[in-house]
Amino acid sequence: MKTKVIPEEVTAKGVDVNKSDKADKKHKHTQLKWLIGSTVVFVLLNVLAWKSTPFCDFYQKWIYPLWAQTYGRVTSLLPFSFGELLIAIAVFGIPLSLIVMIVLLIIKKGRRRKVARIFGFIYGWILVFILGTETLNCFVLYHTSTFEKLNDISTEEHTHEELEALGYRIVSQVNVLSKKVQRDEDGRFVLTADTDDTARDAIEGLEEEFVNFGGYEVHPKPIYCSFFMSQMDLMGIYFPFSMEANYNTDMYKAKLPNTICHELAHTKGFIREEEANFIAFVACDRCENVDYRYSGYLSALTYVRNEIFEYCDEETMVEFDNAICDEVWADIDGNRAYWESVEEAEDTVFESESVSEVSEKAMETSLQANGVEDGLESYCRMVDLMLNYYGEHKFVGEE
């Protein structure tokens, strides 16, 4: 039998190598159990979400708000987008860590297994964090009851005449509001409202009528790399792994207040895009700030106009567009000009068209993977919500 020789310097310090090895193995096994256990729990939660709408409704009402009160409150304290920082770390840090791992595997010949284990656990915990935050703050919420069902809003179908009537109601309101906002020398919208407290107050104001509102409101945050966000055709984004409502600072400002309210709607547990669109409009319409009210109507006009133009003849198109005043057209054209400038931008790190295509496919895939069969087209379903809700309610300021 061979006897292991223990260096004198080790025995002099009174270290028991066998105990140390046992402790290391126990720690490794414990960490592996936690990794596997956490993964299993999150997978089971996703399975349960697909199988049980009542569970998702309970989760949305009672459990999800706890994350906003705790984790969301902590990330809101940061003056920058924590989600954007995490993405930057992932984009640059993970490739760098892979290089470091490869180098260590080459030079640490006698400790390669330990190096591989350490990096394996690091990547494992990163994946569990992503799976966990996406599950708890996003995936489960896709399978709740619809906003209509939760708030007893009708889901009946409507005629083209009713859609056009809604369109003209929106045009009437947006025309009036367009003359109350500040404009530059070119006649285009100038944002004078803040992008934090007013938006939070607007969303908070929905608590008295709609379910699952109230509680802590996270602070919306600008994205530092907003031009890249524009290349992805994004005006705002909700990061489940940081519980933040983020917005594009480069976008045409007339659409910004509505965008911020849309992302804040996601932080209240309403993940479906058409519902966030509807919530953003109602919040803007009831807001006392004219910039927010105008932004809400301008965004709603785009969706309703597109729905009308899906079926109507050219005469109806011309008649509808002629009802829109010049000030509103100045902002429609300004918004269109901005997105065209992004597409035509040169000397960029990535080609805008390629980034846009990848982003669109990724969003389409993500939505469909979460049970939204019509993908990006689901955004337009906010018109159905508006038809059902505003068939019985008036807009603020409407006689």
**Hey, where are the domains in the chain?**
17-143, 150-389
Average pLDDT over residues 238-252: 97
Banded pLDDT at 108 (limits 50, 70, 90): confident
d(CA 185, CA 61): 48
Average pLDDT over residues 309-327: 96
Cα angle 391, 393, 394 (rounded to 5 degrees) comes to 110
Indicate the range of 95-109, 170-184, 247-261 predicted with least confidence.
Answer: 95-109
d(CA 136, CA 339): 34
Q: Which of 22, 120, 133 is nearest to 75 (CA)?
A: 133
Question: Exposure string (b/e) for 261-298, b if CB count within 10 Å is 16 or more?
Answer: bbbbbbbbbbbbbbbbbbbbbbbbbbbebbbbbbbbbb
Banded pLDDT at 20 (limits 50, 70, 90): low
Average pLDDT over residues 266-277: 97
Residue-wise pLDDT tens digits, 198-212:
999 999 999 999 999
Length of the chain in terms of residues written: 399
Indicate the range of 100-104, 155-159, 395-399 predicted with least confidence.
Answer: 395-399
Tokens 């966990």 belong to which residue? Answer: 132
pTM metric for this prediction: 0.92
Burial (CB < 10 A; 0-12, 13-18, 19+), residue 107, is: exposed
Which tokens belong to 165? 């009537």
d(CA 157, CA 98): 55
Burial (CB < 10 A; 0-12, 13-18, 19+), residue 367, is: buried
φ, ψ for residue 315, nearest 5 deg: -60, -40
In the predicted structure, residue 192 carries a pLDDT above the cut 70: yes
Residue-wise pLDDT tens digits, 332-349:
999 999 999 999 998 788
d(CA 304, CA 386): 9
